[in-house]
Chains A and B, each alone.
Chain A
């Protein structure tokens, strides 16, 4: 509460220096080119998810025009500088089930699964738990995340409480992966290789390895003494211990000179007005984690479903909570305008993320060319909690696997599980089904 606000986040200052300077130096450009020639094609393909909550205003979201000749909508207009790197997808229905609309929306969004029954009592629905399967990014990470220090990196912006309204990434059924809301923690734990003394770091890791070895042995030993249900809980913990132990021995090799130590960021706050600045720093860290090949799978979760962020920083400030606004009727023009501007702000953040990626040179292209970003939402329309024709935007070239500069429309009953299959295929995972089997009929036609 009442954390320092002004100046706690000197927005943009954090990484701008590192990035801006790096790409401006001519010698560095040539160095990058030489390196790329020497061992091309050395650049991996990355997958990034960006979430924003509470649905959209379809009339102000949907572009007009044809597949390759289209005009961006009021909400998507900030993405105009990147239009050639986009695929806007209209007409895909986001499936979900169990719990209330927000719960099963965010839980099914990336898993294509229903929520199991569980302890979280939604508004007027039977209590629901976690989804019945992994999220698509985690399936992709199983394939492309095996050699990097982190299998995946989950970043949040004031996500807060741990419940199924606030979790979208799942390692497996019933195994949520919480996002880290605090940039200072990300910096300390993810970027240590870039700023710690190498000798001290090696000693620390050796020590941690011995600590975790002993901890793991204790979990193994105590499991043997317990009943089946308790054993399963502790086994989940043991798996987590083994995974962080694995990180200690994964070598870190900075892939390009664009991989630079980010400046140490301020700790996160829960102050509403710090929301944009925290998000900005988290985007800087996300992009640098990809540029440094610390991970190839990442996500950025802005708030949570039922978010009550107040967009007080917009040119015409919006004092009401986002979720309250999202329930106003379609004929409330003032609310529609506000919701349009809120979603436009999130589009601006996606554009900023893409701009940052474009500033990282990789071979003859950029990090953006080697990345696929999915922007998704737990709902299509907030006031009725509908998920028909959910708003999906893809950004980045996926290493040439995604044909961009397109606006795709789908008619009829197209489950979003098909989109998730296509995302896997584009990322080199050949699975032909994902999520709840009877919601999936194969890849989304016409995408890749």
Chain B
């Protein structure tokens, strides 16, 4: 069913091309202002998008007022490269169909129970007011759920369900229908401008991970969305909504590999301050931190170095931060020597660690693969991979240095561990420490095979280098591209598009909103796809 046309070799070739275009290394390793060397012309493929659980929950909540937890029983979305919206990864089983049926029925029941909301769609009560009301209701709700006007035949098919099964059956159908679950776009001549309604759906899910709102649909109706300024102003309007902040938080959670946070557990014999409530508290800290960043300028510098975080009394006490005077989560100014934005938050630190010890490997691998887009190569075939045993007499760094002492392991681990050592001041739970195994923490490490190579001591020196790196800007643009389009980069034009995104990010001083604005101007976003979806 799915043909895979891109090979590892051709991807590598493209990345080399990207390197030529984007990572302008100078001899002293400092980043130069990079201008994209090419302009993308062809949009490339646009494989069929299926709404993710996150998008379904928000779309139904916004259209019908239902509780987002309704989607909790849906099977998990397939994750590719950390992202839950990869078109190449998803598949459908009878279990999916069964759970979508359950979801449709639950959503129908919830809307019926909310009489005011139910009546708002057509100004009448479809449970009591007769056939005209039923038809008007189906047209109104269906138009929002399916993001297009319903044909007369579609309305009559749905209305035919109502006499025996009730209006809730019609609602249940609309929720499971391909019009809602999939973002199908009518075939168009490759490379031509998308119609306004398709553009609105793309824009809405790109920026806010939910269905188009009334103002956006109005811009479709009056034609203004198809003008350059109309598209820009709708983009900026959506960027200022709370939905956009939440969508950004969701992207960062996936980009930063924070999905596993809810199930993180630690060895409580070794970490006596660990409690089962901490993962939820970490998640709330990061959510508020990112929300604050979004409101006040979501720059890479803020994400990497921000020293104001959020905590309630329990979490502040856990970290050893000043306790907030007010109840609930409050902004806390952390000692700048200890603070490093997301890097110093438990959400990142505890997920990138083992249950009983830190993991310079996981932390270094994160930086290498998610910030430099240069995942380490394979471990040699048939070698026994042995994480060091926790020896209370040895520091973590001493134990992991075996990796680089052993020539077999060094090939790979010298790319990860020396970056991860910079995090050694943070233990496996995310708390700051000065002592490891009775010795002062040694957080010295090294960046190699990047455009900002050199020795580092602690996370602050690491982030200072990251913020000077053109490769990091290019990688952030790459991560964003994969998320924005639900696919990997596959064509030379895609590589150009990523170059333009990186250039926009650089020009905007690292403000992530520039990625959204540049995406909306790209042919991949604006035009009907060229080439078959892989």
Contacts and interface: CB of A to CB of B under 8 A. Distances in A.
Interface of A: 1-2, 116-121, 123-127, 129-130, 154, 160-163, 171, 173-178, 180, 182, 185, 189, 206-208, 210-212, 214-215, 217-219, 222, 225-230, 232-234, 236-237, 240-241, 243-244, 270-272, 310, 319-321, 324, 327-330, 332, 383-386
Contact of B179 (A210, A218, A271): A218
A210 B76 contact: no
Nearest to B48: A230
B97 interface: yes
Contacts of B80: 119-121, 163
9 contacts: A1-B263, A2-B277, A163-B89, A176-B91, A215-B176, A229-B3, A233-B92, A327-B387, A383-B386
Contacts of A124: 376-379, 412
Nearest to B264: A1
Nearest to B81: A121
B384 A329 contact: yes
Interface stretch (B180-188, B297-305, B437-445, B509-517): B180-188
Given A118-B88, A222-B184, A327-B384, A189 B78 contact: no
A214 B332 CA distance: 54
A162 B177 contact: no
A31 to B, nearest CB: 34
Contacts of A234: 48, 178, 182, 184
A383 B382 CA distance: 8
Contact of A210 (B88, B165, B178, B354): B165
Interface string B333-371: 000000000000000000000111000000000000000
Nearest to B82: A121
Given A214-B158, A225-B187, A310 B88 contact: no
B169 A125 contact: no
Question: In this complex, which of B88, B89, B93 has the most chain A Cβ atoms within 10 angstroms of its Cβ?
Answer: B93
What 10 pairs between A and B have smallest CB-CB spacing?
Answer: A124-B378, A119-B80, A2-B276, A240-B97, A1-B262, A126-B8, A119-B88, A230-B48, A327-B385, A270-B263
B157 interface: yes
Given A2-B276, A119-B80, A385-B382, 7 more contacts: A1-B279, A162-B79, A178-B93, A237-B96, A244-B98, A319-B267, A327-B384
A320 B359 CA distance: 13
A244 B97 contact: yes
A287 to B, nearest CB: 20
A217 B157 contact: yes
Nearest to A220: B178
B356 A319 contact: yes
Contact of B96 (A1, A163, A240): A240
A2 B279 contact: yes
Nearest to B265: A272
A119 B104 contact: no
Contacts of A230: 47-48, 184, 533
A178 B158 CA distance: 31
- Which of B50, B95, B154, B262 has the most A CB atoms < 10 Å from its CB? B95
B265 A210 contact: no
B172 A119 contact: no
Contact of A118 (B4, B96, B375): B4
A212 B265 CA distance: 42
Contact of A119 (B267, B376, B488): B488
Contact of B48 (A163, A225, A229): A229
A227 B528 CA distance: 12
Given A1-B262, A211-B172, A218-B177, A324 B4 contact: no
A171 B4 contact: no
A233 to B, nearest CB: 5
Most buried by A among B7, B91, B279, B355: B91
B178 A211 contact: no
